[in-house]
């Protein structure tokens, strides 16, 4: 049975972190809301029409038979061993999960650069606050998070240029998405990304050249970044970090 991925149609969003893992191994999966009836099916789960243990708070969530798994980090923790995208030993799996949770924290901060006051209000209603938030984000939070990921890769005793273990993991795929998203949203501020975070940049470039990922990126399945997703390019927010 194919995996079923539930996420809002029309944007990459948080669902993209899961898609990249599924696409890397060419897993059999259905992006449910891209079907004409998919949105209603997703809402039925969220409204509890399939039982309390099949009632996620929000997408993305993954259905695998009788199991429904919510939250990106939780989904990847579940899929990682099944897809061969995490080392088999428990210590490495816990490390990978912790890194993915840190990525989750960072993604929330990315979102708050354009919606710092309320997700219920339009960006245009909080532009001044967004400028201030983006300035602090670029000056303090990007170096804090991306510097950490860069040190993790550099300190990996396997010396293979990966975040966890000696081979590709779902964490590498997620770091690729972070780097791509930041480049889209803040092209001026991340102009020196490869110099500032060389290990992360190498992971980004390595992932982009993976045959299945390369095929996915040039397919219709890969939606373009846009101003409805998490990574949004508003020129007025793309400020010098200093």
Name the token pair of 31.
Answer: 């992006």
Report pTM.
0.96
Q: Write the pLDDT tens digit of every residue in 30-57.
A: 999 987 789 999 999 999 999 999 999 9
CATH class of the region 90-237: mainly alpha
DSSP 8-state secondary structure symbol assigned to residue 171 = H
Q: How many residues can be counted in the chain?
A: 242
- Report residue 178's pLDDT band, with 50, 70 and 90 as the boundaries: very high
102: left (phi over 0), alpha (psi -120 to 50) or beta: alpha
Parallel, antiparallel or unpaired: strands 67-70 and 3-6: unpaired
Section 140-156 average pLDDT = 98
Q: What are phi and psi of 84, to 5 degrees?
A: 70, 30
Say if residues 7 and 31 touch (Cβ distance below 8 Å).
yes
CB 60 within 8 A of CB 7: yes
CA distances from 56 to 28, 43, 48, 210 (A): 22, 10, 8, 32
| pLDDT of 225 above 90 | yes
Task: Tell me what pLDDT residue 240 has.
Answer: 65
Contact call for residues 7 and 33 (beta carbons, < 8 A): yes
Distance of CA 65 to the CA centre of its chain: 24
Angle formed at CA 15 by CA 236 and CA 9, multiple of 5 degrees: 80
Reported as a pLDDT band with limits 50, 70 and 90, residue 83 is very high
Beta strands in the chain (DSSP E): 3-6, 29-31, 61-64, 67-70
CATH T-level fold of 3-83: Glutaredoxin (3.40.30)
| Confidence tier at 239 by pLDDT (50, 70, 90) | confident
Given pLDDT bands bounded at 50, 70 and 90, which one contains residue 241?
low
Binning pLDDT at 50, 70 and 90, where does residue 1 land? Answer: confident
Nearest to 116 by CA among 141, 93, 96, 98: 141
Task: With H, G, I as helix, E, B as strand and everything else as coil, classify residue 31.
Answer: strand
On average, the pLDDT of the chain sits at: 96
Whether omega for the bond prior to residue 60 falls within 30 degrees of 0, making it cis, is yes
Residue 242 reports pLDDT greater than 60:
no
The residue extents of the domains of the chain are: 3-83, 90-237
**Alpha-carbon distance values, 178 to 93, 183, 227, 235 (Å):** 20, 9, 16, 19
**pLDDT for 7:** 97
| Vertex 227: Cα angle to 11 and 213 (nearest 5) | 45
């Amino acid at each position: 049975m194919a995996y079923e991925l539930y996420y809002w149609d029309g944007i990459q969003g948080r669902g993209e972190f899961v898609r990249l893992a599924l696409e890397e191994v060419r897993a059999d999966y259905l992006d449910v809301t891209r079907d004409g009836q998919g949105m209603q099916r997703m809402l039925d789960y969220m409204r509890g029409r399939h039982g309390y243990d099949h009632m996620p708070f929000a997408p993305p969530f993954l259905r695998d038979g009788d199991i429904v798994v919510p939250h990106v980090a939780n989904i990847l923790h579940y899929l990682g061993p099944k897809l061969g995208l995490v080392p088999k030993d428990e210590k490495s799996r816990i490390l990978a999960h912790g890194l993915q949770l840190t990525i989750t924290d960072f993604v929330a901060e990315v979102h708050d650069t354009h919606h710092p006051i309320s997700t219920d209000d339009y960006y245009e209603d909080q532009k001044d606050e967004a400028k201030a938030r983006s300035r602090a984000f670029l000056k303090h939070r990007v170096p804090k998070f991306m510097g950490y990921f860069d040190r993790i890769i550099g300190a990996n005793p396997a010396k293979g240029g990966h975040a966890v273990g000696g081979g590709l993991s779902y964490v590498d795929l997620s770091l690729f998405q972070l780097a791509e998203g930041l480049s889209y949203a803040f092209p001026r501020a991340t102009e020196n990304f490869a110099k500032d975070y060389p290990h992360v940049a190498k992971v980004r470039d390595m992932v982009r050249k993976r045959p299945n990922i390369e095929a996915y990126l040039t397919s219709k399945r890969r939606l373009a970044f846009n101003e409805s997703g998490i990574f949004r390019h508003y020129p007025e927010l793309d400020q010098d970090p200093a």
